[in-house]
Chains A and B, each alone.
Chain A
């Protein structure tokens, strides 16, 4: 079956660094997405990885290891506005997105 696993909730301190992990098992693989979702709002795109390695985009970086079925989202210099849910999603062989349950990130002052 297809499965995406990520932690349910994480807490971090303003100004610090946090890494949100995601492991996946899908039928086929056409890339992995990270989305940010604030409560009551639609998801917004953060990153897309299809090749192994680290993609850096400002304070956010995303890493992928296809052989391990593993990705992480790294958030640096955390700000209070980064409090949100972070969704990991894989695109399978049919180009459909398989979604993880999301990780709720709580930032404390």
Chain B
């Protein structure tokens, strides 16, 4: 149990375009979802925390107008990278947790390359 999927697993887009990444909890209801970014040889950096039905809470330095997060249901959260630039190229990972549970279950990640 506690499986999280992400789609797409890899995406290449041109500079200036927008990319949407989906994160789904397949067999549980995720009251909270987290979006992370990881650059090569670095640790996970939390971008934002989203609770179902409410606005996401962004970490300091993360532009909310550039990284749009929608957590419309208890099983789906989306991250849209708007007007992508090459420096946005990274590994984006989502995780989800159930209510009153401490463990975060990670999706397999999405490799974004902006050319």
Contacts and interface: CB of A to CB of B under 8 A. Distances in A.
Contacts of B108: 41-42
A86 to B, nearest CB: 11
Contacts, number: 38
A87 to B, nearest CB: 6
A48 B105 CA distance: 13
A48 B106 contact: no
The majority secondary structure among interface residues of chain A is loop
Give the contact-size bracket for chain A: 10 to 19
Given A96-B49, A99-B43, A101-B42, A43 B106 contact: yes
B102 A87 contact: no
Interface in B99-115: 102-109, 111
Contacts of B105: 45
Interface of A: 30-31, 33, 40-45, 48, 87, 91, 95-97, 99-102
A57 to B, nearest CB: 14
A81 to B, nearest CB: 18
21 contacts: A30-B102, A33-B103, A40-B91, A40-B109, A41-B108, A42-B106, A42-B107, A42-B109, A43-B106, A48-B103, A87-B43, A91-B102, A96-B46, A97-B34, A97-B104, A99-B43, A99-B45, A99-B46, A100-B43, A101-B42, A102-B43
Given A96-B46, A97-B104, A102-B43, 13 more contacts: A40-B91, A40-B111, A42-B106, A42-B107, A43-B44, A43-B106, A87-B43, A87-B44, A91-B102, A96-B49, A99-B45, A99-B46, A101-B43
